[in-house]
């Protein structure tokens, strides 16, 4: 179950995995925008390749929470090897000293906005503290 979804000012993305407690906590960067064609509100997290959308910001957040919760649930309840492989493919780096911790560089919003179908090219970065 999803527990926290709060804006934060953290300077980098990080995840800490506790498979015993079946909990993943950390900070992720997502981008919010209104799609030009559908007029749907979209929240996209490139570092986890998940998104949520809806007619309102609240609906997009709800779908994003569901997607994030589903992904984290899969990782903490599935194979450790699969989780580590997924994170590696997504560009996350495992801390050698603290094996349960992963980090990733932020994606530049200016570069990303060229690839999104954002209305008026308006993309808002939302850094989130998460726990699920």
17's tokens: 């995995």
pTM of the model: 0.83
Mean pLDDT of 28-47: 93
Flag whether pLDDT at 124 surpasses 90.
Answer: no
Q: Cα separation of 79 and 9, whole Å?
A: 32
- For residue 113, the model assigns a pLDDT of 63
Q: Are 29 and 15 spatial neighbours (Cβ–Cβ below 8 Å)?
A: no
124 or 69, which is more confident: 69
Helix axes 80-89, 57-77, angle to 10 degrees: 130
């Amino acid at each position: 179950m999803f527990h926290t979804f709060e804006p934060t000012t953290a300077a980098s993305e990080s995840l800490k995995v506790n498979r015993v407690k079946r909990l993943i906590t950390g900070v992720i960067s997502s981008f919010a925008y209104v799609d030009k064609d559908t007029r749907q509100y979209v929240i996209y997290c490139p570092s986890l390749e998940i998104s949520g959308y809806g007619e309102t910001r609240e609906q997009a957040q709800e779908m994003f929470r569901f997607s994030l919760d589903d992904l984290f649930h899969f990782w903490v309840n599935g194979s450790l090897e699969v989780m580590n492989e997924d994170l590696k493919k997504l560009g996350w780096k495992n801390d050698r000293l603290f094996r349960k911790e992963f980090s990733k560089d932020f994606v530049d919003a200016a570069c990303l906005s060229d690839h999104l179908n954002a209305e008026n090219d308006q993309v808002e970065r939302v850094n989130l503290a998460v726990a699920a």
